[in-house]
Amino acid sequence: MKILIKNGHVIDPLTGRDGCFDVLVEKGRIQKVAESLEDAAERVIDAAGCYVMPGFIDLHVHLRDPGLEYKETLKTGGEAAARGGVTTICAMPNTKPVVDDGEKVAEVHKRAKAECPVNVIQIGAVTRGQEGVELSDIEGMARAGCHAVSEDGKSVMNASLYRKAMRIAKENGISVFAHCEDITMVEGGVMNADKNAERLGLKGITNSVEDVIAARDILLARETGVRLHLCHCSTKDSVRMIAAAKEEGLLVTGEVCPHHFILTSDDIKEDDGNYKMNPPLRSKEDVEALREGLKSGVMDVISTDHAPHSEEEKKKSIAQAAFGIVGLETSAALTYSYLVKPGFLSMMGMAEKMSYNPSKILGLSEKGSVSEGKIADVVIFHPDRTYRIDKNTFRSKGKNTPFDGFEVSGEVMYTLVDGEVVYEAVQ
């Protein structure tokens, strides 16, 4: 369908366009961006008052499919993404079975084309069954289009094995996405190690649990030359180490999730499983460092770590509940409300962290930009619509969020994937 988006404020990190432009979309591509376009389009979208941005690319999503469909499916996760303005999802491999060979990657890609309204890039596991013993079929998965391998959910504790994986990933031109957590140091911890954990009578997770693996992984990236992306960074020292790695010229990038740049451990007033995630909510000092890191450019990406669970799995004490919260449907509004409005990020910065930088990390040169010739994955975002987050409206099967009831600004009005409208807000 030929679609003309009129009167919107285009934000495009690739060309630097930041102003009022019309955008013509046809045959899955952006055909024209100009100050005033008249065209006999089949559909005209009036985007007055809205930002027209490249569709968000979420590097960190748990789609739970195959095998854990009671939590989420390709379809429900994709619908949640579309509602959140996310046009490409990177699906983590800790499913049942674990995605650890080329055939399994190809199978998810094939099913996603039929069942999911947005693009899915399946990420491959580093080790067979994520058991940390034997390497997975990294070459086969790279050929099937996985773009990155990750052991997300845990770290590969055997550094020698991980180093081998990094060499193979580099040879095959793909990245390693690292979940940094020294399992031997967790010691039953379920939230940040601090006074609040003591008050609640819960075991703590210290910053070192993350930091020692972040340090190790950066050293291994230096040795192997692999492109390393540190997932869901939560500590001030992660930010410092990434800054140092970049100064040295290493191919290291860092990601932050909205819950880690908004909430602190002290926001956990009572023992509520919806505040349990891994890594945990940290101190005010850590949150400030993460925000500064995003502002200065040390931290490249905002992703969600969308981790849906059933109500039973989360309606428990922090000690008993499953780790993880959902994020696809709240991340744009939370980023706008907590980073753009207070001046930590410009709209251009938001487009960079949520689309352009992820496209570069994945090597997707045809995405991450609203400019002529690019694939027409586009989000139309209204910054002034204010509302309360209501988990009951989520399209995701997961309702597990600590942000239920938060008043936010910014709503996704339209999401286009490959030039077709896949989501439209009720107006």
Please report, as ranges, the residues that interact with Zn ion according to CB under 5 A.
Answer: 152, 179
Phi-psi region of 192 (alpha: psi -120 to 50; beta: other; left: phi over 0): beta
Cβ 305 to Zn ion, closest distance in Å?
6
Nearest CA-CA partner of 147 in 125, 184, 173, 186? 173
As given in the structure block, the two tokens for residue 5 are 């988006």
Closest residue to Zn ion in the complex (CB): 179
Q: Which is nearer to Zn ion, 12 or 210 (CB)?
A: 210
Q: Is 217 a catalytic residue?
A: no
Residue 412 has φ and ψ, to the nearest 5°, of -75, 120
Strands 3-11 and 43-46: parallel
Q: Which is nearer to Zn ion, 152 or 194 (CB)?
A: 152
Q: Which is nearer to Zn ion, 79 or 152 (CB)?
A: 152
Residue 422 burial (CB count, 10 A)? 20
Cβ 153 to Zn ion, closest distance in Å?
6
Q: Which is nearer to Zn ion, 31 or 150 (CB)?
A: 150
Q: Which is nearer to Zn ion, 152 or 300 (CB)?
A: 152
Cβ 231 to Zn ion, closest distance in Å?
5
Residue 65 has φ and ψ, to the nearest 5°, of -125, 120
H/E run at residue 218:
helix 207-224
Cβ 263 to Zn ion, closest distance in Å?
17
As given in the structure block, the two tokens for residue 292 are 């500064």
Cα 152 vs. chain centroid, distance in angstroms?
Answer: 13
H/E run at residue 164:
helix 159-171
Residue in this structure with the two tokens 């009572």, named with its chain if needed: 270
Q: Which is nearer to Zn ion, 72 or 152 (CB)?
A: 152
Q: Which is nearer to Zn ion, 152 or 255 (CB)?
A: 152
Strands 29-34 and 86-91: unpaired
Cβ 232 to Zn ion, closest distance in Å?
6
Cβ 396 to Zn ion, closest distance in Å?
18
How many degrees, rounded to 5, is the angle at CA 64 between CA 182 and CA 257? 55
Please enumerate in sequence order all residues whose Cβ is within 8 A of that of 419, keeping only pairs 6 or more positions apart, or say none. Answer: 1, 3, 25, 26, 27, 28, 29, 375, 376
Cβ 314 to Zn ion, closest distance in Å?
17
Q: Rounded to an integer, what distance in angstroms lies between the CA atom of residue 402 and that of residue 265?
A: 12
Residue in this structure with the two tokens 């790279």, named with its chain if needed: 142
Q: Which of 22, 58, 305, 377 is catalytic?
A: 305
Please enumerate in sequence order all residues whose Cβ is within 8 A of that of 215, keeping only pairs 6 or more positions apart, or say none. Answer: 241
Q: How many CA atoms lie within 13 A of 160 on its CB side?
A: 2
Cβ 311 to Zn ion, closest distance in Å?
22
Q: Rounded to an integer, what distance in angstroms lies between the CA atom of residue 96 and that of residue 71?
A: 12
For the chain, give the number of residues: 427
Cβ atoms 126, 149 nearer than 8 A: yes
Strands 407-417 and 420-424: antiparallel
Q: Which is nearer to Zn ion, 306 or 382 (CB)?
A: 306
**R_g (Cα) of the chain, nearest Å:** 20
Catalytic residues: 305
